[in-house]
Amino acid sequence: MHIVIVGLSHKTAPVEIREKLAFAPTAMEQPLRQMLKLPSVAEALIVSTCNRVELCAVTKDPEAVVSELRLFLAEYHEVSPEEINDNLYEYQGEEAIRHLFRVASSLDSMVLGEPQILGQIKTAYGYAAEFKTAGLILNRFLHKAFSVAKRVRTETAIASNAVSVSFAAVEMARKIFDRLDNKSVMIIGAGEMCELAARHFVANGVAKVLVTNRTFERAEKLAAEFAGKAIPFENFVDHLAEVDIVMTSTGAPNFILGQRQMEEVLKRRKNRPMFLIDIAVPRDIDPKVNKLDNAYLYDVDDLQGVVQANLKERQKEAGKAEAIVEQEIGQFHQWLANLEVKPTIIALRQKLEEIRQQELDKTFGNLKDLSTKQRKSIEAMASAIINKILHQPTTLLKRTQDDISGEDYVDAVRALFDLPAPANDDKEIKPLDDAEVTG
């Protein structure tokens, strides 16, 4: 059996295309069942996020299934195949294994090392398991992908450095104050970046959140989300002495906070340090504030510099992560290759052993005067003949199990000797043992 992936991502398709092909996360049963009905699909999985849509199938005919999956993706979403063909990629066999391991480990994400994709793949697998479109191979494949992702996060620092401006601000605040659980923050402006930063600060334990905005109702709404307090925009300077951290992004054409104002604030704070993050363009805070003792002012360029430095660190760690992925590919590929080869060899030996025993019973029934020594000699000769017959086909099956021709040889042996199909269960398939094929 082969694993095939057909899909598109932020690397191959703009958002206008990705959104046309997205599958609703709350309505996965229908597309999964339809995908499983395709002639060449034995098992099915659909991963659909804002950055990628991927169909993963187990098949005996990888060439046919690629065409079927491409057409299914177009027809299900009622777009022409020509409209999306150039955006689609496909992976088969070892390349498909490598791709999913890399995706689960966030090596293929828009933001290297981001944690969300692993959860999204787990959700996709949950649907495939719930609707019974994942069988033996996808079950093992996905669990292996999860363990690879866990190894990457445990054994590398690929996710340890902030690569968003909002989280970089939190990381820098931790460096200044060591801990945030006894600190307070003021958010000036209620836009997306400020909201995201507020979430990060709250997640890292800040004790108090103040929110101000030119539209007071918007400040009240955002403050309510974080059990904080809204303050009128015209009075926010009066409250600055209460907070240790200020993050601002208002869109104002001029500075909303100057050097002299901050001097007064620091006096009221008895010169306890303050951390100010100004991500507005034009800037909200006069850069001269940074000259004041115990005032630590960073603008958006400073934070972008931190982000870029952290991205370089993540890139260094990505090399270690890629090495882990390569190690794990070989193990899973060997398991997949053994999935039909080992049962075929065992079934072939059992078949010939049954024939050997039947013929010995007939022979011994006609030659009742044989001594024990003679019977053992005949039995040994029959076993030797069986082993010699088995040697060539089992050697060939083992040698070709990693080749594209391996499955053809398995099918040929099963047809020639009328062997039963291998059972589709979740039992462990261990590597072939020489004793099992040489007798």
Structure tokens at 207: 């004790």
According to the 3-state scheme, what is the secondary structure of 121-162? HHHHHHHHHHCCCCCHHHHHHHHHHHHHHHHHHHHCCCCCCC
Distance CA 434, CA 36 (A): 37
Helix or strand holding residue 232 (H, E): strand 229-232
How much is the CA Rg of the chain, to the nearest whole Å? 32
Distance CA 403, CA 95 (A): 14
Cα–Cα separations (whole angstroms), residue 208 to 172, 183, 262, 335? 18, 7, 20, 54
DSSP code at position 184? E
Catalytic (active site) residue 194 = no
Structure tokens at 199: 């979430």
| 3-class DSSP assignment, residue 230 | strand
Distance CA 383, CA 362 (A): 16
Q: Where are the beta strands (DSSP E) in 234-299?
A: 245-248, 274-278, 295-299
Q: Is the dihedral of CA 345, 351, 355, 357 positive or negative?
A: positive
Which is catalytic among the residues 14, 33, 50, 416? 50
Whether the ω angle into residue 282 lies within 30 degrees of 0, i.e. cis, is yes
Q: Is the dihedral of CA 114, 120, 121, 123 positive or negative?
A: positive
Q: Which residues are catalytic?
A: 50
